[in-house]
Amino acid sequence: MGLGQKSKMHNAITRREMLAGAAALVGAASLTSCARQQTPLVPSRVSIVRAPAYDQTLYDTVRRILDLHGIDVHGRNVVLKPNLVEFDTQTSINTNPLLVHAALEAFQARGAASVRIAEGPGHRRNTLDLADAAGYFKIVPKFEDLFVDLNLDDVTRVRPAKQFSKMEKFYLPNTALGADLLVSMPKMKTHHWVGATLSMKNLFGVVPGGIFGWPKNVLHWAGIEESIADLHAAFPRQFAIVDGIVGMQGNGPIQGVPKFAGVLVAGRDPVAVDATCCRIMRINPFRIGYLKLATGGVAAQISEANIRQSAETIAAVATPFDLIPEFQAFRLENS
């Protein structure tokens, strides 16, 4: 079944499902109302740093980002999770290896006990060949020793804390679960099913293909946006560094075209980081379903006023990413 057909199926709601959904919404609205009254909003910090090219200056740029956020990983285990998707080296599908290497060195320099690179591609099974084609073997010394294929890692069965999706259980890789800090390092891309793929959607790569298969379509059947929210909740110790130097616009995450944005966007709160990236891409973050789910209905959490930006402003770096027709309503100016 094509993913498009699945999406169509997912949108077809029976009367019973609609009634159940309405009841749930009433309940959720009450809970949300309570949450608004009782929980003070603590603004998350997100830094936007200019990075004009994939060159040696990245090493200093990433160190500055970690300084900005006061990252303390002394004696800790850090796992860097880039986005590796396809072999095509002519486009901007994969996270650039130079950025990942810069992050590796920066975390090592801050005294991390171990820094590993881990990914479980969702489309291609031959992960190491894919990493090789994407330049990781060339750029990262001893890459094979540092790398864990999350598709084939040892796993632990995890029940989603809130269960937004239909997934009653996940098998998740121990390398990711055991990390003191999981660093999501996605490419800044548009996405033809959810609007934008950033640090939260990047966690699809932790779901082991060795168990669920390729593509990780089980997550599409369970609800793409809901699965993203489930995975976000399963990893509370995260940091995000989004590769927005050259992202992808149009029919992302695979068939789009490169889009220069010249930035790295980083922070401890992936929800705030992704909302900021959306604004840079001129996409309305309030229209992104998984962001809405992850905020638990407290939309103010991703309002621009409640995210503490550092370094560059959004306005200074914003550049509209082309969207496919189905997502034109997600444009900031159209919302």
Residues that bind other proteins (CB under 8 A): 1-6, 8-9, 12, 14, 87, 123-126, 128-130, 132-133, 144, 149, 152, 154-155, 157, 171, 192, 210-215, 217-218, 221, 251, 255, 324, 326
Q: How far is CA 302 from CA 155, 270, 287, 298, 328, in A?
A: 33, 11, 11, 8, 21
Token pair belonging to 128: 């190491």
Least Å distance between CB 12 and other proteins?
5
d(CA 177, CA 193): 27
Nearer Cβ to other proteins, position 68 or 218?
Answer: 218
Nearer Cβ to other proteins, position 73 or 146?
Answer: 146
What pairing do the DSSP bridges indicate for beta strands 155-158 and 170-173?
Answer: antiparallel
Least Å distance between CB 326 and other proteins?
7
Residues in the chain, total = 335
Least Å distance between CB 209 and other proteins?
8
Which residues are CB-contacts of 97 (< 8 A; sequence separation ≥ 6)? 82, 134, 135, 136, 138, 139, 140
Least Å distance between CB 154 and other proteins?
6
Q: How far is CA 58 from CA 55, 102, 133, in A?
A: 6, 6, 21
Nearer Cβ to other proteins, position 147 or 239?
Answer: 147
E strand intervals along 77-199: 77-82, 114-119, 147-149, 155-158, 170-173, 181-185, 187-191, 195-197
Q: Which of 249, 286, 287, 244 is nearest to 267 (CA)?
A: 244
Nearer Cβ to other proteins, position 45 or 192?
Answer: 192
Nearer Cβ to other proteins, position 129 or 304?
Answer: 129
Least Å distance between CB 268 and other proteins?
31
| SS3 of residue 236 by DSSP | coil
Nearer Cβ to other proteins, position 40 or 168?
Answer: 168
Least Å distance between CB 236 and other proteins?
24
Q: How far is CA 139 from CA 74, 88, 102, in A?
A: 25, 17, 10
Least Å distance between CB 247 and other proteins?
18
Nearer Cβ to other proteins, position 255 or 306?
Answer: 255
Nearer Cβ to other proteins, position 106 or 146?
Answer: 146
Token pair belonging to 237: 């110790």
d(CA 145, CA 15): 54
Least Å distance between CB 123 and other proteins?
7
